[in-house]
Structures are given as C-alpha cells and as structure tokens.
Chain A
C-alpha cells in the first residue's frame, strides 16, 4: 500500500499544498520548524484518525483558520482509495472514505496501516507503563478490530465504575453493592479476554522483535519483553472482589489490565535503567520494525513507514546499518525527514530504489 498524493488545507503550518509522492522512498528536507514532521503527521492522521503529536484537534489547524482538511489518495491492492480527514473548530472530526463518512471512527483503524518512528519514541522505554500500554494497544487495535472494541468497552466501564466509587466516597449516593456488581461482572470478563489477547500477541510480537534486534546490533546480550499483569495472579475474580474495599477508599479501580506493564530486559537487568543510549535507541527501532512486520502479517498489506528525524545523533556507520536494515524489512513506501539531507542522501542512494526529494520551507514545498 502507498499514498500517491496528499492534499492539505490549513493543516498545521501548511495553508494549501498538494504533493505527489514516490511509491518507494520520499526524502523530506528543510530547516528545523519548516514543517517536515507536519507532513508525516498529516499521513498519520489519515491512517489512524488522529495526530501522532497532539491530542487536541484544534492544535492541528493553521493559526487563525476555522477548519482543516487533509485528503490522501491511497493505492492498495490495485485499487484507489480516497481518505479525507476534516475538522472544524467546535464540531467533531470526520473521516471519509471515498466521500462517505464513517459512522464510527474506529471502523477506519487498521485499514491503511502506517508505522511512525520518531525521536519521541524513547519514552516507550523511559517513561511510565502508560506509554508501553499505548504502544502495544495501538498495535493490537490495528491488527484486531475486536480487541479495539473490547478495549473501548473496558475503558468506558472503568470510567463509570470510578465515577461511582467517587460518588460513594463523597456521600452523594448510598452504597449499592448490586450496582457495583453490575460493573464488576463485565469488567472481570473483559479483563480476562483482553489479557488473553495481550498475552498471545506479545508472544507473537516477541519473535519479530528478537529477530529485528539481532539484525540491528552486534549485541550478544539477551533481550526480552516480559508481559506483566494482575491477571497472572491466581483467581483474579476473587482478588478483584477482595480489592473492592481498597478501591472504595482510593476512589478508583486498582486491579486490572489498565495496570499492565511490559518489562524490557537486557540479561538480568532492565533496559530502562541499565541499557546504554545506543542499546535503547536500537531497542526502540526494533520495537517499531517488529510492529511493522506484525501489521503486515495481519493486514496483509505493506504498511507505510514514516521515519521522522531518526538519523539524529547517529554516526554514518550506524545510519548505514539502520537504513540497510529498514530496506531489508520493508519493500513498501518510506518517508524520511532529515534536516541535513546530504548525509542520509548518499546512504539511501545505495538502496537503488526510486527516491523523490521534497524541500520544505515555511509550509511550502519548493
């Protein structure tokens, strides 16, 4: 699958621009702040229905404009598709496929897969468990639509349960344990269903990951991803029940898959605390390339790869190695942003694939 043409209107620092891409490699250059990453983000929006960087749609609109629109022409399995992402201040965003709006945004997820690699990804390792759940959930949601619905269902029930616990604590309503049961029963069931899937998919992911990591480094250390969950404890339903008192005091649900974590280890130690900068960087890239391979397997289509500023702080030899690896992983469309194109250009040329170069200046392609 690849994107043929992108048309953006009032998207971040682009007022109006139409760009045709190569189905192979697209190198986006320009000074810092010129809008290289915004171009990748527009593609991200079309694929996932949301920005990779901003959770608030209104921050995506060009300053002083009332709306934005991004239109992408995709080629997938010899068919053309037109995906549009519209947002107007004060209303809900709309995603249209071939001119028809989706009833549910979630129906769009996974149909046009992209993988973004970005310096920000380091937070998957460095920050709290939420970042790791976000990474794996985004992947699992794209490959398994049922997982997405179950997760949305779970999160909604969790919000209701926590609201109830808060009301009890504040004494707004009298404690009605039958009502708490009404949330606990479906939550316990969904916990189990989502846990089984996370377990199964993480195992599957690990095989891809280990291969990628091995290819990226000469490291002899044994890397691993350990899925941690309350659900591994015996008799989770009983435990959940027992924890009710604690939940009431803390006004939130303390057990469940929303507390899961994925531990990244290097031998006996954690990557977060003991991995070198280089190891951490390779680890993240291996995570992302494994994501791409898993998405390809499940969607049966080649995801678009967006490489945002990943050559930064890498020496030429590492860049060489990395590019070589990426080329070995995907035959699909690739977007690369780089503020200093001369260094990456030479290396990319060695791949002997079609390259189109775009120079960006203040939201304009020149």
Chain B
C-alpha cells in the first residue's frame, strides 16, 4: 500500500498489528480519527496508555483487574464458598452475562496440553489448590471447554481437589436451548440421554 504520509503510515502499521485488522481497515480507522476532533484520538491513546500501565491480574482469582484484588473477589455480597474454575477472562464474562452465578471465579489461563508445552505449572493450578486448602470454599465448579484438553484438565483438577474435602461439580453438557434434536451431534445427544434430569411437574 502506498501511503504518502509517513505519519499515517506509522499509525496504520501499528493498528494493523491488532488481530482481525488488515492494512485497509487500519487505514480507514486512522483516517477516521484524523477527521474527528483531536479529543477522540487523545481519549483513545490515553485510555490505552492507562490500560497498559494499570491493568493487573487479581491476586486471588487471576482475572484481569484494575486493583490487586478484582471487583468480583472483593465483593462481599458474592458467595465466596463457591469457586467457578474457567480457562480465561472471556469465560468469566460469558458466565457473568448469564446473571445466574453469584459465586467467585478462578482463571486458569489455559488448559493442559503437553504438545504445546503447557503443563500444570504454566497454569494457576497451584494457586487454586492453595485457595481451597483450609479455606471456607465448599464447592468448586469446573466450567472448562468440552475439548479433550479441557477434559484432561478437569480430570487432573478433580484428582488434585479430591483430597481436600471440597465438593466438585462440572457444568452440564447438552442440547442448546431452542435447538432441534435432529441437528444435535450424536455425542452431545448421547450424553444428554445419559445425564437426563428428573422432570418435576
């Protein structure tokens, strides 16, 4: 791409490094900012700078946080006896959006996969186990992806937690709401049959 201005070129270069953004989109964004009031650009750059300088990981649950302890962990109205274990920050947001969960979280930072050189030590498993020892946690909910790596991690965690006298549960797997049975894959449908629930009238 031939950009006449060195300044624009530099900005485009930086913006296009972001995932999902190509050179053309980057140029469009940059030109848009130039067209806007200068405040818009400063607002963006200040926000990004501020974010980079101040964002941190919660020391309790390892979620991304503004403070050393995140807003969920420091919220006394939440149920600290229940810990939901997830892979990353996006999963926390997904579960928060359901408005169905009042407990706290633990973010692992991934799943175990020796092929990709990710073992228990690369994740926040040790910190989870410490959190569960001697503390008042009564239940751990494993909310991991239903991939083979997710299953391995869940199996590993359940073995590790077993000795700690904490109740371990896993989120249910089954047919999505509004889904038609004929379109469900065999494995999901098969599991749903096996783990069927009692219907109370």
Give the interface of A toward B (CB within 8 A): 145-146, 149, 153, 156-157, 159-161, 163-164, 166-167, 172-174, 176, 178-179, 181-183, 185-186
Contact = CB atoms under 8 A, between A and B. Distances in A.
Given A178-B156, A179-B156, A182-B152, A163 B186 contact: no
A176 B120 CA distance: 9
B121 A173 contact: yes
A159 B159 contact: no
A160 B151 CA distance: 13
A179 B187 contact: no
Given A173-B121, A179-B120, A163 B114 contact: yes
B115 A179 contact: no
23 contacts: A146-B186, A156-B148, A160-B113, A160-B115, A160-B148, A160-B149, A160-B152, A161-B114, A164-B114, A164-B119, A167-B117, A173-B119, A173-B121, A176-B120, A178-B156, A179-B156, A181-B155, A181-B159, A182-B152, A182-B155, A182-B156, A186-B152, A186-B155
A157 B159 CA distance: 18
Interface of B: 112-115, 117, 119-121, 148-149, 151-153, 155-156, 159-160, 186-187
What 6 A-B pairs are tightest by C-beta distance, nearest first? A163-B114, A164-B114, A182-B156, A182-B155, A163-B115, A173-B119
A175 to B, nearest CB: 11
A183 B120 contact: no
Nearest to B151: A186
Task: Name the residue in B115, B151, B186 with the highest tally of chain A Cβ atoms < 10 Å from its Cβ.
Answer: B115
Given A149-B187, A173-B121, A183 B115 contact: no
A153 B155 CA distance: 16
A183 B151 CA distance: 10
Nearest to B154: A182
Contacts of B151: 186
A163 B117 CA distance: 8
A296 to B, nearest CB: 23
Given A153-B148, A161-B114, A179-B120, 16 more contacts: A146-B186, A157-B152, A160-B114, A160-B148, A163-B115, A164-B114, A173-B119, A173-B121, A174-B121, A179-B119, A181-B155, A181-B159, A182-B112, A182-B152, A182-B153, A182-B156
A278 B152 CA distance: 50
Task: Name the residue in B114, B115, B120, B121 with the highest tally of chain A Cβ atoms < 10 Å from its Cβ.
Answer: B114
A185 to B, nearest CB: 7
B160 A178 contact: yes
Given A157-B148, A179-B112, A172 B117 contact: yes
Task: Name the residue in A149, A159, A173, A185 with the highest tally of chain B Cβ atoms < 10 Å from its Cβ.
Answer: A173
B114 A145 contact: no
A182 B186 contact: no
Task: Name the residue in A149, A172, A179, A185 with the highest tally of chain B Cβ atoms < 10 Å from its Cβ.
Answer: A179
Contacts of B186: 145-146
A358 to B, nearest CB: 40
A102 B73 CA distance: 43
A183 B152 contact: yes
Nearest to B121: A173
B115 A159 contact: yes
Contacts of A178: 156, 159-160
Contacts of B113: 160
A173 B113 CA distance: 12
A106 to B, nearest CB: 11
A160 B147 CA distance: 13
B120 to A, nearest CB: 6
A161 B114 CA distance: 8
Nearest to A165: B114
A159 B149 CA distance: 12
B117 to A, nearest CB: 7
A167 B186 CA distance: 35
Contacts of A161: 114
Contacts of B159: 178, 181-182
Nearest to A168: B114
Task: Name the residue in A166, A176, A181 with the highest tally of chain B Cβ atoms < 10 Å from its Cβ.
Answer: A176
B170 to A, nearest CB: 14
Contact of A167 (B119, B153, B160): B119
A146 B151 CA distance: 18
